[in-house]
Amino acid sequence: MAFIYDEPSYTFSEYLLLPGLTTKDCTPDSVSLRTPIVKFKAGEESPLYINAPMVSAIMQAVSDDHMAIELAKCGGLSFIFVSQPIDKQAEMVSRVKKYKSGFVVSDSNLTPEHTLQDVIDLKNKNGYSTVAITEDGTATGKLLGIVTSRDYRISRMSMDLKVKEFMTPFSSLIYAEEGISLKEANDVIWDHKLNCLPIIDNKGNLKYFVFRKDYSSHKENPLELLDSEKRYMCGAGINSRDYKERVPELVKAGVDVLCIDSSEGYSEWQADTLDFIKKEYNGKVKVGAGNVVDAESFNYLADAGADFIKIGIGGGSICITREQKGIGRGQATAVIEVAKARDEYFKKTGVYIPLCSDGGIVHDYHVTLALAMGADFVMLGRYFARFDESPTRKLNINGNYVKEYWGEGSNRARNWQRYDMGGTGGMKFEEGVDSYVPYAGSLRDNLDITLGKVKSTMCNCGVKNIADFHKNAKLTRVSSTSIVEGGAHDVILKEKNYSAKF
């Protein structure tokens, strides 16, 4: 006879938090949401942290390089979608890593013999107005000058004009030598009112640029998520089919962390994928696995070497896996059981494996509940798909602005690898839908509100960090009647006056 759980599984909406003692020093400004995303040993630090416990889902409609950049500015992390050619995904990762850095390797380079037309073509291709002019046209050649938009006027100059005729020559440049600190470089920029500062080695070869705009960006984004080289951090999804070809290209592009993208992760294919990456890169490349919904599957992936484990089957707003296959579990119950297994694993091995709750988030407070139940961070699709920064189209339907949003298991995405069961490939049936979500404006504005709610609730519970939240949170299940009681009731609501931007 099949094993049957005594209790039903529950969703986040069926739980509430109970208050703890709020001390005078426990204010939202004092709450830290910094959280580990890959495993570490007791008494040690995790190799990777995020500053906001929210990551964007591995989906075509959610996580491209633009979303990755904007979310990293806010302290979160994107996992760029895997259902695309390897070179395209690696290119997206590369654009994130090159977008922002204290010391930027030049991505636009020409020789003095190139023409104004070449400058314009390069600007249109890369979007950068600063072009390094080097002896051999490479990013590390001998620096002979630079070209910016101030050096030419298209309406008054021939497109055949050689770069050497209008570039700012090296003799007129203010530059610095390799070894200068970022603070010192920024001081030079401000003292001389520069937009950029070239950094050269002792042979005159270009090494980096430091840009004024990057200094301003850092001041505006105190939680921005940067790697050791001051570049934005970026994750990427992989599958258990082409990982031997895909992973090396993503690593070469500079990816910070990987995640196996699968609707159900309790499989030997995931173990094989983890084994390959651990052996090939000797643990230097971090990779998460999943998804799981119980202790048994958590322990399997933990023993297989997963650096973090993702929880959730069928809880996403566009996911119809439960409807199609009858497999899954209420997200709250899944998080609670897996978190308990994680804590037991930590006691037994001394290795802490962070958990990511993926799916089932309908309201902002569900993020807080997931963290209270033991998740270290949450992955969201619908939430991020609503914003300007997502890669989908904004449409006006019946007077309301919406954005397109489709699942990786839909016919539109055709990401059959995510649902691969070891067959010959291809989709037999859909496990996701094609839909719309209400347009919500900018990521930053909405994320600030969500994180503000999380911090405020944590203060109500008397905690100032996520680790203490795991230990001290008190939760209660609620009845269907108390769910009704929790909202506005027995009153006549006034109509909302929506902003003109909608």
Helix (H) / strand (E) containing 270: helix 268-281
Helix (H) / strand (E) containing 184: helix 182-191
Among candidates 258, 252, 318, 314, which has minimal Cα distance to 289?
A: 258
Q: Can you spell out the DSSP letters for 339-386?
A: HHHHHHHHHHHSEE--EEEES---SHHHHHHHHHTT-SEEEESHHHHT
Alpha-carbon torsion (383, 389, 390, 394), positive or negative: positive
Percent of the chain as helix, strand, coil, to the nearest 5: 35, 20, 45
List beta partners, residue 205.
Answer: 142
Backbone torsions φ then ψ of 357, nearest 5 degrees: -85, 120
Pairing outcome for strands 40-41 and 351-352: antiparallel
Distance CA 75, CA 54 (A): 9
Q: How far is CA 494 from CA 76, 438, 485, 486, in A?
A: 36, 21, 19, 18
Alpha-carbon torsion (281, 287, 292, 296), positive or negative: positive
CB crowding 52-72: b at 16 or more within 10 Å, else e: bbbbbbbbbbbbbbbbbbbbb
166 C-beta neighbours (distance < 10 Å), count: 15
The radius of gyration of the chain's CA atoms, rounded to the nearest angstrom, is 25
Annotation says 418 is catalytic: yes
Residue 374 burial class via C-beta count within 10 angstroms: exposed 0-12, middle 13-18, buried 19 and up: buried
Instruction: Choose the catalytic residue: 231, 382, 386, 418.
Output: 418
Among candidates 326, 331, 327, which has minimal Cα distance to 316?
A: 331
Q: Can you spell out the DSSP letters for 123-147?
A: HHHH--S-EEEESSSSTTSBEEEEE
Instruction: Choose the catalytic residue: 196, 319, 356, 461.
Output: 319
Annotation says 319 is catalytic: yes
Residue 279 burial class via C-beta count within 10 angstroms: exposed 0-12, middle 13-18, buried 19 and up: exposed
Distance CA 446, CA 467 (A): 25
Backbone torsions φ then ψ of 226, nearest 5 degrees: -120, 150
Distance CA 287, CA 2 (A): 33
Cite the active site residues: 319, 418
